Structure 1
Amino acid sequence: MADKGDMGWRVVAAGAAFAGGWVAKKAIAVAWKKGTGKEPPTNPESPDVALSEAIGWIVVMGIGVEVARLLATRAAARQWAKNSGTASQHLKTEV
């Protein structure tokens, strides 16, 4: 069973990843609308959406959300280590 510190880190990391992804989705949608002049596709799988637009949306959204989640989780990890004096076991790398 995970100890309290480990469970605390998991909650913090999940919250940071969720928040980072949510903010990225909103920001990417606004940028898409400004850049293309159209609303982002709500259903890229629909045949009514041009294939190039669907692929572009999925690529931009996928990369953007994952980068934001990574950055948010890394920022949370730095703050966790600063506050607790040690990094979570999940963050330590084997050399």
Structure 2
Amino acid sequence: MASSSKVWSVFSLVAAVAAAAVAKKGLNTSWRAATGKNPPANPADPDVDLWEAVAWAAVSGTFVGIARMLASRKAADYYTKSTGHLPPDLVRDDQDADSAPAPQS
């Protein structure tokens, strides 16, 4: 099981890093197309307009986070199909109300 855990760790890390890099490249291109400027290299720099820093932080954080989550889901799906079981430390999220435990009062 330890070997399986290491494989999953490397696999999920590579997928998340690749997704973040692709998302960032797409965001940089989109930002230049929308604003005519390069995105702020350091949004915390006082010379960067506040609206621009906030917009970049919100947009880049959201899209990179979504890309990493989608890549991790795809990696888990591939791992499950390849091995026949979920990756180590990943449990199903039983959101079905019929199978959920009754709330405690």
What's the TM-score once normalised by structure 1's chain length? 0.92
Residue 94 (structure 1) shift: 6.6
- Counting helix residues as a fraction of each chain, which structure ranks higher? 1
Question: Larger Rg: 1 or 2?
Answer: 2
- Taking the aligned partners of 2:26 and 2:90, their CA distance within structure 1 comes to 28
Residue aligning to 2:92: 93
Residue aligning to 1:4: 3
State how 1:50-61 maps to structure 2 within 5 Å. 50-61=49-60
Question: C-alpha deviations, 1:38-93, integer Å up to 9, x for none?
Answer: 11011111111100000000000101111000000100111111111111132213
Q: How many residues align?
A: 94
CA RMSD of aligned residues (A): 1.3
Question: Which shows bigger deviation, 84-93 or 51-60?
Answer: 84-93
- Taking the aligned partners of 2:6 and 2:88, their CA distance within structure 1 comes to 11
Instruction: Check if 1:65 corresponds to 2:64.
Output: yes
Q: Which amino acid aligns with 1:53?
A: E
Stretches of structure 1 lacking an aligned partner (at least 5 in a row): none
- Secondary structure of the equivalent of 2:43? coil
- Secondary structure of the equivalent of 2:59? helix
Stretches of structure 2 lacking an aligned partner (at least 5 in a row): 95-105
Residue aligning to 1:33: 32
* Amino-acid identity (%): 39
- Secondary structure of the equivalent of 1:29? helix
Q: Which amino acid aligns with 2:20?
A: G
Runs (4+) of structure 1 exceeding 6 A deviation are none
